[in-house]
Amino acid sequence: MSNQVALTGNEVMAQAMRQINPDVVAAYPITPQTAMVQLFSQFVADGKVDTEYVTVESEHSAMSATVGASAAGSRAMTATAANGLALMWEVLYIASGTRLPIVMPVVNRALSGPINIHCDHSDAMGARDSGWIQFFAENGQEAYDNAIQAVRISEHEDVRLPSIVNLDGFIISHAVENLEILADEDVEEFVGDYQADNYLLNSEDPIAVGPLDLQDFYFEHKMQQAVAASNVKDVVLEVAKEYEEISGREYGLFEEYKLDDAEVAVVALGSTTGTAKAAVDNLREQGVKAGLLKIRLYRPFPAEEIANALKDLDAVAILDRADTFSTTGGPVYIDTRAALYDSDADLEVVNYVYGLGGRDIKVEEIESVFEDLQQIAETGNVEQKINYLGVRE
């Protein structure tokens, strides 16, 4: 059973947290995540959850307390955005390295400086090699569904890694959508009880967490982490199948939108994929074989599957809502090109960095990308591999 509701992205994520009913939430407010933790603290104040809500004095302490709570053996969550995520950076690695299955919504916002409160993915991309699983969502519905599935994925015995559930700042977090939330009891049953294997609050078997791990074992622990990361894809698909049974909504590692017979396509993540779908539809009406690959699971990167899905195209554009300032393109571009290197694909891959600091991306702009792709497909000639879309000269 599920309910039709009209909620903002922040509100629906707070609902997801209420339904997950974590033992501990330690969070610090930051725009554009604020409404999420405000609403959740109201649930705490009204006794709607069993959660101990720790009103920490910074995001660094938010992640630190969440690590403590998770290591103690409880189910623990937090949520943040932008500079808050950056402040957590040190502890992100400790959470994943200690194999703590924390779930954290991140409301994507540009990193300073200069300071900016609007959407881009520079925050999430800064954490892309931190060992956290990362999901992206097109809309509030997907963010909600990802959050609930992330609990099961993170806690899976083959994984035991933390998850970031991304949702675009303002565009998703503050926009009201019609969406479906599951019945409370369905979520309760789906996520189940969390039982850590080894945990601090066990006087029978006390443990030590976070020791000094030198040359003789650190590498082995990192190898375990690498193996866990390689297990994620299968677990994501397994959990998605189960989730479909209770929700009726289907999820994979990514979504292929009109990609089957496409000749040109864009790859994107986040809310822009909705805009890209409109562009694809328009172009299809004009007889252009356009398509979209929308990445859901960004970390670990499903390289082989993505390369497989793209390899028959003539040209593909990777849309990046963040730059790496490496002069080698945006992060998704770098990942995707690397993935295609090992496939037998023969296609041109170009990059468009767009939407930084919340700059709007319009359907027409994505259509212009498709025009470029068609030209590349026809001539085989790429004028510029890395492009900046929607910026003034």
Partner 1 sequence: MVKPGDGYKDIPKGGLILEAGNAKNYKTGGWRTKKPILDKETCINCHRCWAFCPDSSVLSEDGDVKAEIDYDHCKGCGICAHECPVNAIEMEKE
Partner 2 sequence: MKLKEAAKKEERLTGGHRLCSGCGAGTVVRLVMRASDNPAVVGCSTGCLEVSTTIYPYTAWEDSFIHNAFENVAATISGVESAYRSLRNQGKMDEDFDFIAIGGDGGSYDIGFQSLSGAMERGHDMVYLCYDNGAYMNTGIQRSSATPKGANTTTSPAGEVIPGKQQYRKELTDIMAAHNIPYVAQASPFKPQDLMKKAKKAFETEGPAFLNVLAPCPRGWRSKAEEGIELTKIAADTCFWPLFEVENGEWKLNYNPKAKKPITDWLEPQGRFKHLFKPENEGLIEEIQEHVDERWETILHRCGEE
Binding residues vs partner 2 (CB under 8 A)? 23-24, 26, 50-52, 54-58, 60-62, 64-74, 76, 90-91, 94, 200-203, 206-214, 216-217
Q: How far is the CB of 66 from partner 1 (least distance, A)?
A: 15
Closer Cβ to partner 2, 211 or 287, answer by number: 211
Q: Quote the least distance from Cβ 163 to partner 1, whole Å.
A: 16
- State the minimum distance, in angstroms, from the CB of residue 221 to partner 2: 9
Q: Please, which residues bridge with residue 219 across strands?
A: none
Report the amino acid identity of residue 313: L
Distance of CA 27 to the CA centre of its chain: 18
Q: Which does 154 bind (CB under 5 to 8 A by kind): partner 1, partner 2, none?
A: none
Nearer to partner 2, 59 or 142 (CB): 59
Strand 290-295, strand 254-257: pairing: antiparallel
Q: Which is nearer to partner 1, 91 or 353 (CB)?
A: 91
Residue 223 binds which entry of partner 1, partner 2, none, with Cβ cut-offs from 5 to 8 Å by kind? partner 1
Q: Taking CB within 5 to 8 Å according to partner kind, which of partner 1, partner 2, none is near residue 184?
A: none
Report the nearest approach of partner 1 to the CB of residue 99 (Å): 4
Question: How many Cα neighbours within 13 Å face the side chain of 171?
Answer: 26
Alpha carbons 268 and 288: distance in angstroms, whole number: 19
| Among partner 1, partner 2, none, residue 294 binds (CB under 5-8 Å by kind) | none
Q: Which contacts of 235-243 are long-range, i.e. CB under 8 A and separated by 24 or more positions?
A: 235/153, 235/156, 235/158, 235/159, 236/149, 236/153, 236/297, 239/149, 239/152, 239/153, 239/156, 240/149, 242/152, 242/190, 243/145, 243/148, 243/149, 243/190
The binder of 351, among partner 1, partner 2, none, by C-beta within 5 to 8 A per type, is: none
CB of 20 to partner 2, least distance (A): 13
Query: Please, which residue, 22 or 330, has the CB nearer to partner 2?
Result: 22
When the beta carbons of 189 and 342 are compared against partner 2, the nearer one is 189
Whole-number minimum distance, CB 31 to partner 2, in Å?
21
> Using CB distances below 5 to 8 A depending on partner kind, what does residue 23 bind out of partner 2, partner 1, none?
partner 2
Site residues for partner 1 per CB under 8 A: 97-100, 160, 197-198, 205-211, 213, 216-218, 220-221, 223-224, 227-228
Specify whether the backbone of 327 is left (phi greater than 0), alpha (psi in -120 to 50) or beta.
Answer: left
74 binds, among partner 1, partner 2, none (CB under 5 to 8 A by kind): partner 2
Compute the distance between CA of residue 11 and CA of residue 146 in angstroms, rounded to an integer.
Answer: 15
Which DSSP symbol is given to 358?
Answer: G
Rounded Cα distance between 10 and 4, Å, is 16
Nearest to 31 by CA among 8, 17, 10, 45: 10
Distances (CA, A) of 387 to 190, 294, 325, 363: 44, 20, 13, 17
